[in-house]
Structure 1
Amino acid sequence: MRERHGLQGLLRGFRRVGPDRGDGGLRAAGDPELLLRVLCHEFRTPVSTLTSLTRALADDGRVLTGADRLAITRLARDQAVHLQALLRDATASTGALALTAQPEPAVPLAGILREVATLVPAHRRRARATRRAADCPVPARRTRQVLVNLMENALRHGPVDGQVGLYAAVRRPGLRLLVTDEGRVDDALLDALRQPVPAAGMSGLGLWIVRQLVTADGGAVHVHRLRPRGVALEVLLPYAGHG
């Protein structure tokens, strides 16, 4: 069976799993306006990522190691594949959106962290993962896209020259991923993390999509204020080997 990207599932049809809890849940299938917004956002993210990566490769003032160049090349390849998949599904008129965890290969988290970290210039980047977290198997494409969305969000909304952090550790009840920046927790961010249906426009849509992808894997997304300043987006994913 063909492997499906977690975001491709967004183009399969917004179908609720389980009973209606009356909390808004996922909007019913056949919402063309929401479908268009999700498509626009999910085209924007890989295009923005590819722009950042090619800019890094072309920047004569930015020193890149061989490992950096390899990670950039791999992430660029994965984002190009993601764009192709979105185009294929969009042109196939697959209709409504579905957020179910599709089978996909599990890979060690370390490689994904290495790729995603290249989105941030080295002098602004703070990245750390425990050995246990780095070895943790995760759904390759969904995890990569969740972290890309969060990193792009941090770069877009944090200070231009601010530090951006990417951290991973295994803690009860599972795998803990943190993306931090030196911005602030405001009402727009809180709304994006608690509203069952995204607000009109593109604002907050990326975080809403992240929530859906993480939820599909049985996880959760939280926000924390950092002191003296900053914000952390925390992704918690179940991990059977956490004990």
Structure 2
Amino acid sequence: MQDPNADTEWNDILRKKGILPPKEKQKDEEEVQILQTQSVVKTYEDMTLEELRENEDEFSEEDERAIELYRQQRLTEWKASQLKNKFGEIIEISGQEYVNEVSKAGQGIWVVLHLYKPGIPLCTLINQHLSALANKFPATKFIKAISTTCIPNYPDRNLPTIFVYLEGEIKAQFIGPLVFGGMNLTRDELEWKISESNAIKTDLEENPRKQIEDKLMTSIRCTIPTKKDSDSETED
């Protein structure tokens, strides 16, 4: 039987008359090779850094330039990811560790330092709040230290004290119990206070203390008699 795909004059006549179907287009060897390559080889955007190194001999100069840019981008993203998740908890330091942990914390690293003393209830409360905030904002370094180990003879009346640093420079300071509002201090209030220094990016929409103050003022207004009420009582 004659091959219908053969290149013969007779087959060409039969194709013109519609007796044979059109000849199938044969993929040349290069097209087949490209398709096979695409089916089994990842594009460099999908490769890991290790895979890029293993396959670098197969790329052209143009590919090399694109891959190098891509490698640098991936490296930058990786470093940012590592930095973002570097902390995550509040750590205790001694006075000898202050320079390395605060002054030499690193470029772009915000440091929140709590000076405290055991046995002071408000210090204990703030350490609890800072522990939660350290977990919520792992890109910021939260540390605590017994006050007199960092600053000899630091007065207890100034406790609790929070210093906020950026690259060794003080950006904000909160000193003494009155600044924190006493034992009624909530975690959200402390978060807002620290966020005002830009050390953390809070998702709170407004100062929680303002909500409390607004409620307090509303309560006071409700308990103060109006002039009309006073006149009515006088007539009685």
Q: Please classify the TM superposition score into its range, dividing by the shorter chain length.
A: under 0.3
TM-score (norm 2): 0.24
- Structure index of larger Rg: 2
Name whichever structure is richer in helix by fraction: 2
Name whichever structure is richer in strand by fraction: 1
TM-score (norm 1): 0.24
Question: Taking CA–CA contacts closer than 8 Å with sequence separation of 6 or more, which of the two structures ends up with the larger relative contact order?
Answer: 1
